[in-house]
């Protein structure tokens, strides 16, 4: 049986940020959030909003890990690491980036296809796809068992 999937239309950046805030409220140590989608789909914007919400600090500086490959954060619920694996060729390169230690906290991973055999099974998978015109995008979410339904926003939220 395929995993449950939730599909949301996100009309603008604020809706993407609201989804990220809901995910941050549900996240706990050991969780992995895997973000897929083409360049410009909103993966980094989601991660930035997630980390700011989890830290309860809307002004938190959240630089893109495009060049550093990983950025670490101390959150109230424990450590979190934001990975951008775009420039990696495969999972062999993750060892030197502290992957095993990072998995004890929350990890957000852009370009998770590079994880290979290190792909966490119980992860929340988020596939972002830009829609025609403006900031609108579709988010397809799967995983996280019973927490997935809590990510669906009431109509007033979107």
pLDDT in tens, 114-129: 998 999 988 999 999 9
Say if residue 3's pLDDT is above 80.
Answer: no
Q: What is the arithmetic mean of pLDDT over 24-46?
A: 94
Identify the pLDDT of residue 146.
82
Q: What is the arithmetic mean of pLDDT over 96-114?
A: 93
Task: Identify the residue with better confidence: 158 or 53.
Answer: 53
Domain boundaries, the chain: 1-85
- At 4 the three-state DSSP class reads coil
Q: What mean pLDDT is reported for the chain? A: 89
**CB-based contacts of 156: which residues, under 8 Å, 6+ apart?**
none
Identify the pLDDT of residue 37.
94
Say if residue 155's pLDDT is above 60.
Answer: no
Task: Identify the residue with better confidence: 123 or 152.
Answer: 123
The beta-strand segments (E) located in the chain are: 5-10, 32-36, 70-75, 78-84, 106-110, 124-130, 137-142
Identify the pLDDT of residue 154.
59
- At 103 the three-state DSSP class reads coil
- 64-83: b (≥16 Cβ within 10 Å) or e: ebeeebbbebebebeebbbb
Q: Evaluate whether the domain defined by 1-85 bears CATH number 3.40.50.300.
A: yes
Q: What is the arithmetic mean of pLDDT over 83-92?
A: 87
pTM: 0.91
Say if residue 65's pLDDT is above 90.
Answer: no
Identify the pLDDT of residue 48.
96
CA gap 103, 106 in Å, rounded? 6
Q: What is the arithmetic mean of pLDDT over 62-91?
A: 89
């Amino acid at each position: 049986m395929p995993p449950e999937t939730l599909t949301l239309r996100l009309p603008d950046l604020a809706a993407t940020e609201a989804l990220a805030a809901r995910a941050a409220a549900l996240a706990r140590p050991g969780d992995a959030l895997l973000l897929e989608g083409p360049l410009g789909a909103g993966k980094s914007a989601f991660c930035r909003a997630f980390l700011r919400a989890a830290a309860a600090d809307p002004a938190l500086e959240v630089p893109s890990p495009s060049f550093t490959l990983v950025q670490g954060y101390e959150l109230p619920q424990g450590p979190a690491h934001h990975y951008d694996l775009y420039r990696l060729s495969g999972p062999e390169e993750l060892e030197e980036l502290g992957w095993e230690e990072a998995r004890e906290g929350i990890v957000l991973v852009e370009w998770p296809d590079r994880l290979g055999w290190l792909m966490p099974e119980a992860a929340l998978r988020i596939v972002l796809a830009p829609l025609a015109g403006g900031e609108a995008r579709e988010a397809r979410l799967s995983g996280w068992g019973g927490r997935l339904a809590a990510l669906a926003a009431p109509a007033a939220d979107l």
